[in-house]
Chains A and B, each alone.
Chain A
Amino acid sequence: MRIRLEPRKAPSRLALYGAPIMAIALTMLAGMVLFTLMGFRGGAAVFEIFIEPLLEPQRWPDIAVKASPLVMIATGLAIGFRANVWNIGAEGQYIVGAVAGTGVALATYEIESAWILPLMLLASLLGGAVWAAIPAILRVRLKVSEILTSLMLTYVALQLLYYLVRGPWRDPEGYNFPQTRMFSEAQTVPNLLEGTQLHWGVPLTFLVVLITWFVMSRTLLGYQVKVVGLAPMAARLGGFSENRTVLMTMLVSGALAGLAGMIECSATFGQLTPQFPVNYGFTAIIVAFLGRLHPVGVLIGGLALATSYIGADIAQTASALPQAATGLIQAMMLFFLLGVDIFVINRIRIAPCVPRLAS
């Protein structure tokens, strides 16, 4: 007997959208087993990670703030992934965006103007786009895989950040701590709701999701991205340039990652510090796939992952779960999603063995 996977003619809609939910359910189950085996209260820990944050309204703003950069980055990445453009270096673009914005902030130190913050955001968009342009141009001109180059540039960006905060940009009044000056009020993304962490970056992310949804589903540009990803030959017949699509989607995803970096840097940290990058750029890849590369899906996926971040914090104090559990949970989510997807796209066929040579 032989077990084979056979592609389905058309995967059902239910399976397609049910898969992420299935993946989360499997993650919860596996987490429960794993944590129990490790000697924790597995059931309680999983409840704390996935359910408890949703039951406490005072945690909702935290979830939104946590989800905001994830969704912003993942929305951009999902556009590229649709066109088979694999930007794995959003983390680097996130850092360079924040660096570029901080550069504007430091240059406008002690200036008060309503233009400073928009200028910082614009600089972060450009910074992220420029960082993404390097792998994009390498791919278009020299056919270098953007997967490798974008990933490697992440580490270059990290070193750039370390150099700046320890060297030229170090706060002169900061007791030699490797960090920049604090941003002034004019350089800080304003708070949205008194008494919470909620800031204007959250509605901005929501706006980005809306615009992306419109572009991807209602415009020729979105159509172009999808055709290039699904059928390169058809794209050529349609008159859509693959190179231009690669450049465009890389620049957009880089710019959005850069913007997310600046907002996070300004609203949450108030300065540039080496502690600021926390792998949102990588987690956003999981969010993009969890959301089925659809802007609205990404929004939901981002909220789900943000919940698990907040929940993991609860579980750390309540169930003494180690911090590494957060990464473990996220990795399992992607693992199970990819696993479940195999069965959404294919079906299992059990075929009898072909009779062996009979001579």
Chain B
Amino acid sequence: MAEATTRLELEGITKRFGEVLANDKVSLVARKGEIKALIGENGAGKSTLVKIIYGVQQADAGEMRFEGAPVVVSSPRAARRLGIGMVFQHFSLFEPMTVLENIAIGMDQALDRRKLEREVTSILAAYALPLDIHRHVDTLSVGERQRIEIVRCLLHRPKLLIMDEPTSVLTPQEADQLFDTLRKLATEGCTILYISHKLDEIRALCESATILRSGRVVGECDPRVETQRRIAEMMIGAELANIERAPGRTPGGARLLVERLSVDTDEAFGTELEEISFAARAGEILGLAGVAGNGQKELMLALSGETAAPAGAIRLDGSAIGNLPPPARRKRGLCVLPEERNGHAAVASFSLAENTLLTARERKHLTANGVIKTSALHDYARRVIAAFKVATTSEEAPARSLSGGNLQKFVVGREILQEPLVLVVDQPTWGVDAGAAAAIRQALIDLAARGSAVILVSQDLDELLSLCDRLYVMNEGRLSRPLTVAEVSIEEIGLLMGGVHGQAEPTHTRAGDAD
């Protein structure tokens, strides 16, 4: 009977967030004891899909069958009762408490302390998981913390275990240990749904893979026999080859020179930058590709001046600016627009006019002796609104009243109309409708044509390949060697993004590479 071997079936799962279709009629089948990979770029809909399976979110449409029977999973607790467990990317642990105390707190039903201890110990022994249950969590490594989460799941004797990017925070050794545990679980009949974008580990671990792109299933394959190129193409989109590239521009000298920039992070999930070096030249659009969380955020903060760097690590038109605060950098012509519109690039409850003051006051002289020039503020906001066709009632409207795309056009316009010598933008078309995205891309091209250097940080390869002259791939806080867009293969970018450095050793651009 085929029914007997099927554990999880999804049919036509659809989930919409506002204008974005996160999951579009996703169907998927996982057998007993199967280790199945869910592959896709960031924003492809992997996390949404597993959150629906685990009951964190509810699907708008579609059916889920577990062990052959249709189920509605209304909450994670209901999922656990069915036998579905999930290990999230970020852990929910109380650091001052011991491992055992943390496990006890997470239990749905209170269990006798001694009985729980016996059970936890037997699970640790059965799966050869090294973990001292009486240690305090704050003394544990990330890998050990993850094991606590895994034990939490195993206590429920799961039939389906979901792992959301489990190795993103692990050392290679810890990752190997994790794979052993997962393989053992699978031989015992537990189904494992493994989310990742690291192709090499998927090939090592998984026996089948479902590939998601823009919320849709675009392919199924056996990663053990498929080439990485094929998987990368499916993940990124095979039609990429047909993208029309911008006609060759002739760039001038180096405008922004970054040399051996290293930044430590004190954030738990931050990425340290390791000797980043590149040059952005006048008149070019330089792309920085890569999966989110590989140091893009840290690089943006270092370029804008929100985190300090050695003076000489960043040079603008020859002068060292690495230790200057953001206003001084803007004054000299370096404008940086972060990815997050709400609360970073703009203040949601402020009017559009007030939002111009945030980053345009130096170059557009919006204050005099510390006093705000209200009319100058309004004039500039109106100019941005007109030039970028921002749909809003007036410049007095609060930023939060605008749609995502319109607010994005406004903040991009706010930077571009300042005519910066160098503009750095992070994901400028993320979550923006097609029309607005086209307008923003055109504005970037025009700015470069006027002689500015534009640095485009993006995860959207279509966008990078159609706009950029050269690009670097960021992975784990390092840059790849520079790739010329006209010559680069999709496979190469995909592999670099997935962290396969094989044929592309990271190299450092010297100043001489810039021309």
Instruction: Answer whether A and B are interacting partners.
Output: yes
When the two chains form the complex, which single residue of A10, A354, A358 contacts B400, counting CB atoms closer than 8 Å? A10
Q: In the complex, how many angstroms separate the beta carbon of B426 from the nearest chain A beta carbon?
A: 12
Interface residues in B280-320 by Cβ distance below 8 A to A read 304-306
Q: In the complex, how many angstroms separate the beta carbon of A205 from the nearest chain B beta carbon?
A: 24
Q: In the complex, how many angstroms separate the beta carbon of A228 from the nearest chain B beta carbon?
A: 10
A218 and B377 CA atoms in complex are apart in Å by 12
Residues of B within 8 A of A347 (CB): none
Verify B72–A227 contact, CB threshold 8 A. Answer: no
Verify B372–A223 contact, CB threshold 8 A. Answer: yes
Listed residue (B82, B325, B344, B345) with the most chain A CB atoms within 10 angstroms of its CB: B344
Residues of A within 8 A of B370 (CB): 219-221
A356 and B71 CA atoms in complex are apart in Å by 10
Task: Tell me whether B343 is interfacial, beta carbon within 8 Å.
Answer: yes
Task: Tell me whether A203 is interfacial, beta carbon within 8 Å.
Answer: no
The stretch of A40-48, A99-107, A236-244, A250-258 in contact with B is A236-244
Q: In the complex, how many angstroms separate the beta carbon of A321 from the nearest chain B beta carbon?
A: 41
A237 and B342 CA atoms in complex are apart in Å by 13
Q: In the complex, how many angstroms separate the beta carbon of B133 from the nearest chain A beta carbon?
A: 31
Verify B306–A223 contact, CB threshold 8 A. Answer: no
Verify B343–A234 contact, CB threshold 8 A. Answer: yes
Query: Please, which residue of chain A has its CB at the minimum distance from the CB of B69?
Result: A359
When the two chains form the complex, which single residue of A221, A237, A358 contacts B71, counting CB atoms closer than 8 Å? A358
Given contacts A227-B358, A357-B72, contact A237 B345 (CB under 8 A): yes
Q: In the complex, how many angstroms separate the beta carbon of A222 from the nearest chain B beta carbon?
A: 8
Q: In the complex, how many angstroms separate the beta carbon of B464 from the nearest chain A beta carbon?
A: 24
Verify A231–B344 contact, CB threshold 8 A. Answer: yes
Task: Tell me whether A39 is interfacial, beta carbon within 8 Å.
Answer: no
Query: Please, which residue of chain B has its CB at the minimum distance from the CB of A238?
Result: B358
A75 and B82 CA atoms in complex are apart in Å by 57
Contact with A along B358-396 (1 / 0, CB 8 A): 110100000100111010000000000000000000000
Task: Tell me whether B182 is interfacial, beta carbon within 8 Å.
Answer: no
A237 and B340 CA atoms in complex are apart in Å by 11
Given contacts A9-B401, A357-B74, 7 further A-B contacts (CB under 8 A): A226-B350, A230-B349, A237-B304, A237-B338, A239-B305, A239-B325, A357-B71
Residues of A within 8 A of B372 (CB): 218-220, 223
Verify A223–B357 contact, CB threshold 8 A. Answer: yes
A to B CB contacts below 8 Å, 29 in the list: A10-B398, A10-B401, A218-B374, A219-B372, A220-B372, A223-B354, A223-B357, A226-B350, A227-B347, A227-B350, A233-B340, A234-B344, A234-B345, A234-B358, A237-B304, A237-B344, A237-B358, A238-B357, A238-B358, A239-B305, A239-B328, A356-B72, A357-B71, A357-B73, A357-B81, A358-B71, A359-B66, A359-B69, A359-B82
Number of A residues near B (Cβ < 8 Å) is 23
8 residue pairs, one from A and one from B, having the closest CB atoms: A239-B327, A239-B326, A233-B344, A231-B343, A236-B306, A238-B358, A357-B78, A359-B71
Task: Tell me whether A57 is interfacial, beta carbon within 8 Å.
Answer: no
Query: Please, which residue of chain B has its CB at the minimum distance from the CB of A227?
Result: B347
Task: Tell me whether B62 is interfacial, beta carbon within 8 Å.
Answer: no
Task: Tell me whether B461 is interfacial, beta carbon within 8 Å.
Answer: no
A183 and B305 CA atoms in complex are apart in Å by 54
Q: In the complex, how many angstroms separate the beta carbon of A83 from the nearest chain B beta carbon?
A: 13
Residues of A within 8 A of B349 (CB): 230
Residues of A within 8 A of B74 (CB): 354-357
Task: Tell me whether B348 is interfacial, beta carbon within 8 Å.
Answer: yes
Query: Please, which residue of chain B has its CB at the minimum distance from the CB of A355?
Result: B72
Residues of B within 8 A of A9 (CB): 400-401
Q: In the complex, how many angstroms separate the beta carbon of A260 from the nearest chain B beta carbon?
A: 26
Verify A238–B326 contact, CB threshold 8 A. Answer: yes
Given contacts A221-B370, A354-B58, contact A237 B326 (CB under 8 A): yes
Number of B residues near A (Cβ < 8 Å) is 42
Task: Tell me whether B253 is interfacial, beta carbon within 8 Å.
Answer: no
Verify B69–A230 contact, CB threshold 8 A. Answer: no
* B interface residue numbers (CB < 8 A to A): 58, 66, 69-74, 78, 81-82, 304-306, 325-328, 336, 338, 340, 343-350, 354, 357-359, 361, 367, 370-372, 374, 398, 400-401
Contact with B along A329-359 (1 / 0, CB 8 A): 0000000000000000000000000111111
Verify A230–B347 contact, CB threshold 8 A. Answer: yes
Q: In the complex, how many angstroms separate the beta carbon of B163 from the nearest chain A beta carbon?
A: 23
Residues of B within 8 A of A238 (CB): 326-327, 357-359
A359 and B82 CA atoms in complex are apart in Å by 9
Verify A237–B357 contact, CB threshold 8 A. Answer: no
Q: In the complex, how many angstroms separate the beta carbon of A277 from the nearest chain B beta carbon?
A: 36
Listed residue (A9, A226, A237) with the most chain B CB atoms within 10 angstroms of its CB: A237
Residues of A within 8 A of B348 (CB): 230-231
Query: Please, which residue of chain A has its CB at the minimum distance from the CB of B306?
Result: A236
Residues of A within 8 A of B343 (CB): 231, 233-234
A233 and B304 CA atoms in complex are apart in Å by 12
Verify B347–A234 contact, CB threshold 8 A. Answer: yes
Residues of A within 8 A of B357 (CB): 220, 223, 238
Q: In the complex, how many angstroms separate the beta carbon of A292 from the nearest chain B beta carbon?
A: 13
Verify A237–B359 contact, CB threshold 8 A. Answer: yes
Residues of B within 8 A of A355 (CB): 72, 74
A342 and B344 CA atoms in complex are apart in Å by 25
Interface residues in A113-147 by Cβ distance below 8 A to B read none
Query: Please, which residue of chain A has its CB at the minimum distance from the CB of B81?
Result: A357
Query: Please, which residue of chain A has its CB at the minimum distance from the CB of B74?
Result: A354
Residues of B within 8 A of A359 (CB): 66, 69-71, 82
A126 and B66 CA atoms in complex are apart in Å by 70
A314 and B24 CA atoms in complex are apart in Å by 69
Given contacts A356-B74, A357-B74, contact A231 B347 (CB under 8 A): yes
A357 and B81 CA atoms in complex are apart in Å by 10
Residues of B within 8 A of A237 (CB): 304, 306, 326, 336, 338, 344-345, 358-359
Residues of A within 8 A of B73 (CB): 357
Query: Please, which residue of chain B has its CB at the minimum distance from the CB of A217?
Result: B372
Residues of A within 8 A of B58 (CB): 354
Verify A230–B361 contact, CB threshold 8 A. Answer: no
